[in-house]
Structures are given as structure tokens and as C-alpha cells.
Amino acid sequence: MVSILFVCLGNICRSPAAEGIFRHMASQELEFPLVHIESCGLGDWHVGQLPDVRIRSAALERGINLSNRAQHFRVGFLEEFDYVLAVDREVLSDLHRFAKQANTKAKIHLMSEFSELYKNEEIPDPYYQGEAAFELVLDMIEDCCRGLMEHIKEFHQKR
Ligand code: 4NP
């Protein structure tokens, strides 16, 4: 079992989209239950809420139903999960500060590290942006998730 945690600020736009998109891909490509997937936010403003209606409707148009409830990041997650994926460098550096040991730090990655088209780019916060920003976020996340899926298949599927 490989466990994957996507992390953003509010857990109502970017990381829930990544959770939903990666879960959808995993259901099609992997033998279940190979992966455990969750998301969370570094802020607690939206805990318990469904994802923002703008990302939900944009995702639904791509056949993805986002239904997780926002949860707040806990330091213990860094022990529990195998991969901790940050949407941008601000989130990445906050997570690195929480990680005390080298083996914990090694689990933390910028999500786009796995992307082909958007390699090492930040997924921009769409919260105060228009519709186009949400489409770009989904485009970027889809490509990151495709790369992550290839990585998981290569390094974990046969174990
Ligand atoms: P997310 O977007 O980090 O992709 O979920 C945000 C959602 C809410 C806020 C910031 C970013 N906020 O400030 O409430």
C-alpha cells in the first residue's frame, strides 16, 4: 500500500482536485487497494467544507466528482504518508519546516516534480481568480498526476 497526501492552503481548490483526479486515475490504472489518497490544507479556515463550487463544477465537466471534506494538516501526517505533495513552493517550504528528519523531508515533493509539461512550476492559487485559472489548475494537476502515476507504477506496482 502506497499512501499519498496532497497539500495546499485551504484544501478547497487545488489539493482536493489533485486527490480526486489521482483517485480517478488510480481506479482505472492500478490494482486496488494499492494506494491510499488524501488531501489537506495548511490553513483551517474551511475545515469540514466541500471543495469550492468553481473547482467542483470544472472538475465535473472532466468527469471527476470532488466530494472530500476539507481537513487541516497535522504534523503526524508526515510520518503516516509515503508521499507528501505540495502544490507550490510556499506550501513546500512550510512542510519542510515541519519535517525534522531527513527521511521525513525526503517524502515531501513539489507536485510538479512529476509533471512533464509543467515541470517544477507552482500550481497557482485560483481562489481570487476567474474561471480560466481553475481550468489551468486542472490542466496542471492532470499532468502532475499522470507523471506521479507513472512513477508509482514503476516503483510500487510490482512489490
Ligand atoms: P487552495 O485555495 O489552497 O487551493 O484550497 C485557497 C482556498 C482558500 C484560501 C486560500 C487558498 N483562503 O484564503 O481562504
For 30-64, where are the alpha helices, taking DSSP H only? 53-61
Cα–Cα dist 20/24, whole Å: 6
Q: Is the CB of 133 under 6 A from ligand 1?
A: no
pLDDT of residue 34: 84
User: pLDDT (tens digit, 0 to 9) for every residue of the chain, 159 residues total?
Assistant: 999 999 999 999 999 999 999 999 999 987 766 899 999 999 999 999 999 999 999 999 999 999 999 999 999 999 999 999 999 999 999 999 999 999 999 999 999 999 999 999 999 999 999 999 999 999 999 999 999 999 999 988 754
How many other C-beta atoms are found inside a 10 Å radius of the C-beta of residue 49? 14
What is residue 100's predicted lDDT score, i.e. its pLDDT?
Answer: 92
The per-residue pLDDT for 158 is 58
- Give 40: exposed, middle or buried? Use CB within 10 Å, 0-12, 13-18, 19+: buried
**pLDDT score for 31:** 73
Instruction: Encode 1-36: b = buried (16+ Cβ within 10 Å), e = exposed.
Output: ebebbbbbbbbbbbbbbbbbbbbbbbeeebeeeebe
Pocket test for ligand 1, best of 125, 128, 137 (most atoms within 8 A of CB): 125
Tell me how far the alpha carbon of residue 72 is from its chain's centroid: 14
pLDDT at 106: 98
Residue nearest to atom 9 of ligand 1 (CA): 10
pLDDT of residue 157: 72
